[in-house]
Amino acid sequence: MVLEVFRKLDDLPTLPNVASALMRMGAEENVQVEDITRLIEGDPSTAARLLKIVNSASQGLQRKVSSVGRAVVMLGVNGVRNVLLSMQVFSVFGEQAREKNSALFEIWKHCLAVASASELVAENTGGLLPEDAFTAGLLHDIGKIALYSAAPEEYQKVIEAVRESGTPISDAERAVFEVDHCEAGRYIAEKWALPEALVGAAYTHHLLPDVTDFSDQIALTSAVVAVADDLVRRQRIGFSGTPESWEPPEEIFALIGLDEKNIVDIRTHLVERISARSAILDVDIPEADIYLESLQKANSLLGNFNEDLRETRCDLERSQRRLQAVTDLNAALGSSFDCDRALAGMAEKVYEHLPAGKVVTYCVDERGQSVFGSVRNGSSTTKSFVISALKDSPNDVAGLGDDREILVHLVRELAGKLDEGTGLATLIAGRLLYVPISVGNGQRAGILVETSESHRVFQEDLQFLGEAAGLFLERAILESRLRSESEKLIISNRKSRGFYEQLLGTRKLAAIGRMAAGAAHEINNPLAIVSGRVQLLLKMEAEEPKKRHLDMIRSQCDRMSRIISDILTFAKPEKPVLAAVSPPEVVDSAIAQVADRALAKDVHFTRDFPAHLAQIAGDFPKIEQAFRNILANAIDASETAGEITIAAALAEKDRFLAVTFADKGKGMGRETLNNIFEPFFTTKEGSGIGLGLSICHSIIASHGGKVRVKSTPGQGTVFTLLLPVWKGL
């Protein structure tokens, strides 16, 4: 692209012969006025334009100059060269530039204004001839004119980009041509063999020149043109395309000899000088037109600034409303992280802050089986709703009324058919605005807003509130999940603690059993010898008093034998032989064995069995022993003339039969309840060794059952034995 641009620049016309000859003469040291005069007189049109410029009002002459020679003497060799060079350059590109209000005309006008300002700067500072400064200023943007002439359609795109988006013209040029006007200007100036000062001004007028003193004419020329270009851009004369951002530092003003008074003087005379020098370009630019243009551009800029300010103010107000809505939503929800409350609060605040006829907020559950949410409309309350895809689940859509379109949308959510990839979408012929809420955990949620002519909702506002609402809803969902998981963890910990305590209890019982078994074995052998010797002595003894003492010893030996038997039963329980056992039969058998004990305290038994009762899987003798131990304890705890109620019913999804033994005795406190299954624990002073309930617990556990007990001091005790229901072998 760059090579193509330079090829087009090569195709542009060269300077006329008169201008080229003047460039060569200007480089000679001993050029004569007569030589320059003959050169100009050889081109009548050039001579006529030179005389017109010399006789212009700006020269302040009392009578007109009629000869080229006198004009050359008045302007000087350097002045004539610069004037004619300016004229000839304009003649190469100037045909289109004479059409006022065209883009090229506006560029040339800017160049003429910079030339006039450069001339005034040189007049106020010294160090640079005013006519040299004028020519440098006039040709500083020759690159723009060359690019426009080489590719007018493409350069028009550059101008449009600058005017529409405010893009700096150098950036726009590089985007289209890959070169800017500074590079193109240097290329043309070098091609035409212009003086180095003019080449430098065309290439560096947007840079900050490095001026050390007035002897460096190239740097000084660039500095003067750069300052003049900035002054003209601030006056908004012609088309520059460069933002008013470059502010020449004070040191460069000092280096080229400018002060504040000079700046005021230049600005005062700039428009007048531009109008006077417009003859060089063979155009007429009245001062009034320049002032009017500058004023119009200033007014336009002020109007654009006011419009930008109004839009900014509207954006700030809208942002403030959005932030206030989020603040109100946060205040409404507070520290509550309940999903239903979050949806209700969202509906309430969106309705308050948007001109909506109706607001629906909703969320689909994790399994996609139901959608729940809240509705806020003209009524004073926010109503909730639930729509379920499950057959037996009730639906509550009273809050939605008969709004079929919203119902259709929510039902589609359950079917998973809604395309959320469209983002913010208008639904149902423009009546509903929909914005999906990003929850972050895969759940679908959203806001539906009813709009109308009287309820115009900005989509950006709804999108902003939707994003904020998503954070609140996600927080509520996460909090709900965390609460649920915490409850599960607490339950799990409780179960683990129970299992641990049960394991410790089992281990302790096993240890006690091993110890008891060892002790019983050691005691049993000597006891058998004692019991045998006592029985022999009883047969041999004839005296009654001695026989009574020996019989007492035999009785206590029998008692000790039974205790040892209980210890061995507890310590080494036999594996039960399971069979179908009738609960009433085993209960009756156990009652028969404690009948004498009950009769002694006048305790009565009440049976509460259903007509058809399931059988249990058990070992009859062992189950009987367990029931007997429970009944014995109940009799001991009952008052005289007490009552024990025995009942049975299916439990735990019919897998177990629950047999309950309830008495109305003295009951037990918490400390006693915590120890009743401990081996050798007893509250019966002088009777029993505390193995009855331990053996009962061991028997029921060996059957795969459970033992539960409830007791209240002074109100009695209820033992519940859960035994597996017989399912057959």
Q: Which two tokens stand for residue 639?
A: 């008052």
Comparing 95-104, 159-168, 616-625, 642-651, the range with the smallest average pLDDT is 95-104
User: Rg (Cα) of the chain, in Å, rounded?
Assistant: 56
Distance in angstroms (rounded) separating the CA atoms of residues 147 and 516: 114
Amino acid at the residue 220 = L
Distance in angstroms (rounded) separating the CA atoms of residues 326 and 468: 7
Between 562 and 557, the more confident residue is: 557
**Closest C-alpha among 146, 329, 107, 118 to residue 222:** 118
pLDDT of 51 reads: 72
**At residue 446, what are phi and psi to the nearest 5 degrees?**
-175, 175
Summarize pLDDT for 52-64 with one digit per residue, the tens.
776 764 455 556 7
pLDDT of 418 reads: 47
Between 16 and 667, the more confident residue is: 667
Between 94 and 122, the more confident residue is: 122
Summarize pLDDT for 398-424 with one digit per residue, the tens.
777 767 777 777 777 776 554 444 444
pLDDT of 660 reads: 95
Q: Which two tokens stand for residue 353?
A: 């802050």
The DSSP code sequence of 580-599 is EE-HHHHHHHHHHHTHHHHH
Q: What is the mean pLDDT of residues 45-56?
A: 69
> Is residue 529 over pLDDT 50?
yes
Between 635 and 685, the more confident residue is: 635
Which single residue is written with the structure tokens 């996609």? 368
Q: What is the mean pLDDT of residues 287-313?
A: 62
Summarize pLDDT for 30-41 with one digit per residue, the tens.
667 677 777 776
Quote the DSSP letter at residue 621: H
Task: Give 396's strand partners.
Answer: 386
Between 204 and 522, the more confident residue is: 204
Quote the DSSP letter at residue 63: S
- Indicate the pTM of the whole model: 0.46
| Domain 321-483 belongs in CATH node 3.90.1150.10 | no
pLDDT of 57 reads: 45
**Closest C-alpha among 52, 198, 178, 46 to residue 115:** 198
pLDDT band at 724 (very low <50, low <70, confident <90, very high): very high
> Could you tell me how many helices (H) and strands (E) the chain has, helices first?
25, 13
Summarize pLDDT for 147-200 with one digit per residue, the tens.
888 888 888 888 888 888 878 888 888 888 888 888 888 888 888 778 888 888
Between 480 and 385, the more confident residue is: 385
pLDDT band at 588 (very low <50, low <70, confident <90, very high): very high
- The sign of the dihedral angle between the CA atoms of 291, 292, 297, 302 is positive
The H or E element that residue 359 is part of is strand 358-364
Query: Is-contact 543 484, C-beta < 8 A?
Result: no
pLDDT of 58 reads: 47
**At residue 251, what are phi and psi to the nearest 5 degrees?**
-65, -35
- The sign of the dihedral angle between the CA atoms of 23, 24, 27, 30 is negative
Computed over every residue of the chain, the mean pLDDT equals 76
Summarize pLDDT for 596-614 with one digit per residue, the tens.
888 989 999 999 999 888 9
- CA 133 from chain centre, in angstroms, equals 60
**Closest C-alpha among 388, 175, 139 to residue 280:** 139
* Beta strands at 643-651 and 604-608: parallel, antiparallel or unpaired: parallel
Summarize pLDDT for 339-349 with one digit per residue, the tens.
788 788 888 87
pLDDT band at 327 (very low <50, low <70, confident <90, very high): confident
Query: Is-contact 69 11, C-beta < 8 A?
Result: no
Q: Per-domain residue ranges for the chain?
A: 2-301, 321-483, 574-724
Comparing 333-337, 611-615, 624-628, the range with the smallest average pLDDT is 333-337
pLDDT band at 709 (very low <50, low <70, confident <90, very high): very high
Share of the chain above pLDDT 90, in %: 10
Share of the chain above pLDDT 70, in %: 70
pLDDT band at 662 (very low <50, low <70, confident <90, very high): very high
The number of C-alpha atoms within 13 Å of 409 and in the hemisphere containing its C-beta is 28
Using a CB cutoff of 8 Å and minimum separation of 24, what contacts does 369-375 make?
369/414, 370/414, 371/410, 371/413, 371/414, 372/339, 372/340, 372/343, 373/343, 373/347, 374/340, 374/343, 374/344, 374/346, 374/347, 374/348, 374/399, 375/347, 375/399, 375/400
Q: Which two tokens stand for residue 519?
A: 């002790």
The most confident of 247-251, 411-415, 493-497, 640-644, by mean pLDDT: 640-644
Amino acid at the residue 517 = A
155-177 b/e (C-beta count within 10 Å ≥ 16 → b): beebbebbeeeebbbbebbeebb
pLDDT of 721 reads: 94
The DSSP code sequence of 676-710 is TTSTT----TTS--S-HHHHHHHHHHHTT-EEEEE
Query: Is-contact 182 169, C-beta < 8 A?
Result: no
pLDDT of 585 reads: 93
Domain 2-301 sits in CATH at 1.10.3210.10
Q: What is the mean pLDDT of residues 549-555?
A: 78
> Is residue 285 over pLDDT 70?
no
> Is residue 591 over pLDDT 80?
yes
Distance in angstroms (rounded) separating the CA atoms of residues 722 and 659: 6
Q: CATH fold of 574-724, please?
A: Heat Shock Protein 90 (3.30.565)
Summarize pLDDT for 384-401 with one digit per residue, the tens.
888 887 776 777 777 777
Distance in angstroms (rounded) separating the CA atoms of residues 465 and 446: 11
Q: Which two tokens stand for residue 422?
A: 């469209």
* Angle between helical axes of 68-97 and 33-41 (0-180°, round to 10): 50
- CA 320 from chain centre, in angstroms, equals 20
pLDDT of 387 reads: 84
Comparing 150-154, 360-364, 458-462, 639-643, the range with the smallest average pLDDT is 458-462
